[in-house]
Amino acid sequence: MPERTQAALYSQIDLDLSWSEDQLPQVERTKHVHGLHPYLGKFIPQLVDVFLRRYFKPGDCVYDPFVGSGTTLVEANAFGASGLGCDISAFNCLLARVKTARHSPGGLEMALRVAYEESSHLLDDVNDDLAAAWLRQWYAPRALRELLAYRAAASRLDGPIRDVAHVILSRSARSARLTTHFDLDFPRRPITQPYYCHKHKRTCAPVDEAGKFLRRYTTDASHRIRAFASERRSADSTVLHEDSRTVRLSDTPSGIITSPPYPGLIDYHEQHRYAYELLGLVDRRLEEIGPAARGTGRSALVDYQDSMVAVLRNACEQMGPGKPVVIVVNDSRKLYPEILDRSGLLVEEVLARHVNRRTGRRAGEFFESVLVCRVAG
């Protein structure tokens, strides 16, 4: 079959939902707080902005039952709508809360700088022998001590500022692992010897320190939060660490914008294992919907459909008829016609978008569907 031209591809998609790299460079996709911490499978914020302008109005309440890194809530706030998010992952909830919280940029920057400086004085007070086995396996001794010392310094901070410090700690821990430079997303085993680096095209050595990352990300976090503060509106954002299949929402949503997990693709708790180990977060991985560990066998797909129906039906019952539900998904397994029907959702239109950027070393054509629905009356 002859390969389709770019013009032919774009004749079938919604151009308002598809961008080239030149039109939407990475610096714009990760603007202000959207770049606080790497996160696989997150929304492009500009995509959420299109949905908000098409289907919502300022003053509405936008719900995301899979809040993830908080993109929907951040964009809802900038749009002037309140945001309501739910997630089974404690780390996701932490990250979404930090991105949407009201911070005093000057005070935050000063407190974070002091915490970083104090951590250097606590290095002799930490005992890495008491750290969890997973941490001792994945970090060089110096890096682990620096991470533990920063954790001790962060524990002295007030709640919202401590949350920001914990995100900085997590991001630094991600970068300081004993893994290759080109495999930060899915490292399989610790790397303790020099290796050929596909990213830098030369021999590289494993990272043996965390301090440089703590310093770099402290500055970066302060700058990003300050940048968002100039766009932030007074609308409230609420993040619930609950199961969206059963959660009772604290407000009545005006509609939904979400991108659900794909079956058998990502284990969201394992993706941020370093954060769970360092911060002692509650691990609810057994309650994840469609985790990679379950695979894509028949029983796993049936469970996925049943879980998605439970999520959407629970939300629809609390919203009422006529409310918009916008779902971004690559439904290559054709699971969503049944999911939407069983959930009581009426499909208004299905929009196609072309995704021409992939994370890591993956490449190739990739398409997503935008399912625009209404809650049935």
**pLDDT tens profile 14-51:** 767 777 777 878 888 889 999 999 999 888 999 999 99
81-104 pLDDT, tens digit per residue, is 999 999 999 999 999 999 999 999
H and E: helices and strands count for the chain: 14, 9
Judge contact between 234 and 70, C-beta under 8 A.
no
- State percent of the chain over pLDDT 90: 81
Is the pLDDT at 1 greater than 50? The verdict is no
> CA of 281: how far to CAs of 21, 147, 211, in Å?
36, 16, 23
Report the candidate in 173, 179, 128 with the shortest Cα–Cα distance to residue 272.
173
Dist. CA 291–CA 271, nearest whole Å = 11
| pLDDT at position 70 | 97
Q: Which of 136-145, 195-204, 356-365 has the lowest mean pLDDT?
A: 356-365
Same domain for 121 and 201, yes or no, is: yes
Q: Per-residue pLDDT averaged across 66-93, rounded?
A: 98
What domain range includes position 340?
6-90+234-269+285-375
* 185 located within any domain: yes
- Let me know if residue 278 belongs to a domain: no
The CA dihedral of 55, 306, 304, 39, to the nearest 10 degrees, is: 40
**Three-class SS state of 236:** coil
Answer whether 340's CB lies under 8 Å from 373's CB.
Answer: yes
Q: Quote the CA–CA distance of 132 and 122 in Å, as a whole number.
A: 19
Q: Is the pLDDT of residue 4 over 50?
A: no
pLDDT in tens, 152-200: 999 999 999 999 999 999 999 999 999 998 888 888 899 999 999 988 8
- C-alpha distances out from residue 226 to 33, 223, 286, 324, Å: 9, 5, 37, 33
Determine the Cα–Cα distance for residues 219 and 215; give it in Å rounded to an integer.
7
Predicted local distance difference test score (pLDDT) of residue 221: 98
User: Domain tally for the chain?
Assistant: 2
- Farthest CA pair distance, the chain: 66
Which of 1-5, 57-61, 257-261 is predicted with the least confidence, judged by mean pLDDT? 1-5
Residues in Cβ contact with 111 at an 8 Å cutoff, skipping those fewer than 6 apart = 157, 158, 161
Range in 133-147, 189-203, 225-239, 299-313 with the lowest mean pLDDT: 189-203
Q: Are strands 255-258 and 324-329 parallel, antiparallel or unpaired?
A: parallel
11 pLDDT more than 70: no
- Does residue 127 share a domain with residue 253? no
* 254 and 328 housed in the same domain: yes
CB-hemisphere CA count at 13 Å for 142? Answer: 8
* pLDDT at position 2: 41
Q: Give a yes or no: residue 280 inside a domain.
A: no
Does residue 360 register a pLDDT over 50? Answer: no
Q: What is the mean pLDDT of the chain?
A: 92
pTM of the model: 0.92
Determine if residue 281 is left, alpha or beta; phi over 0 gives left, psi from -120 to 50 gives alpha, anything else beta: beta
Tell whether 241 and 360 lie within a shared domain. yes
Q: Does 218 lie in the same domain as 248?
A: no
Tell me the pLDDT band of 364, cut-offs 50, 70 and 90: low
Per-residue pLDDT tens digits for 215-239:
999 999 999 999 999 999 999 999 9
The domain boundary, picked from 181, 212, 229, lies at 229
DSSP 197: E
Residue 276 falls inside a structural domain: no
The band of 359, judged by pLDDT with boundaries at 50, 70 and 90, is very low
- With beta carbons less than 8 A apart as the criterion, state whether 258 and 86 touch: no
In 3D space, the residue among 172, 117, 179 whose CA is nearest the CA of residue 143 turns out to be 172
Is residue 361 scored above 50 in pLDDT? no
pLDDT at residue 365, rounded to an integer = 58
Is residue 99 in some structural domain? no
- CATH number (domain holding residue 311): 3.40.50.150
- Alpha carbon dihedral 277, 279, 280, 285, in 10-degree steps, equals -60
Does residue 195 lie in a domain region? yes
Question: Residue 344, Cα to own-chain centre: how many angstroms?
Answer: 28
3-state helix, strand, coil split of the chain in percent (to 5) is 45, 15, 40
**Residues 241, 361: one domain?**
yes
Residues 244 and 307 in one domain: yes
As a whole number of angstroms, the distance between CA 70 and CA 98 comes to: 9
Question: Does residue 203 share a domain with residue 137?
Answer: yes
Q: Residue 168 domain-assigned?
A: yes
Residue 277, in any domain of the structure: no
Same-domain status, 66 and 119:
no
Query: Do both 368 and 296 map to the same domain?
Result: yes
Note the pLDDT of residue 358. Answer: 45
**Alpha-carbon gap, residue 100 to 119, rounded angstroms:** 26
Segment 270-280 shows an average pLDDT of 96
- The pLDDT assigned to 184 comes to 83
Considering the domain architecture, whether residues 253 and 154 belong to the same structural domain is answered as no
CB 70 within 8 A of CB 224: no
Two tokens, residue 40: 């696989």
In this structure, are 124 and 67 located in the same domain? no
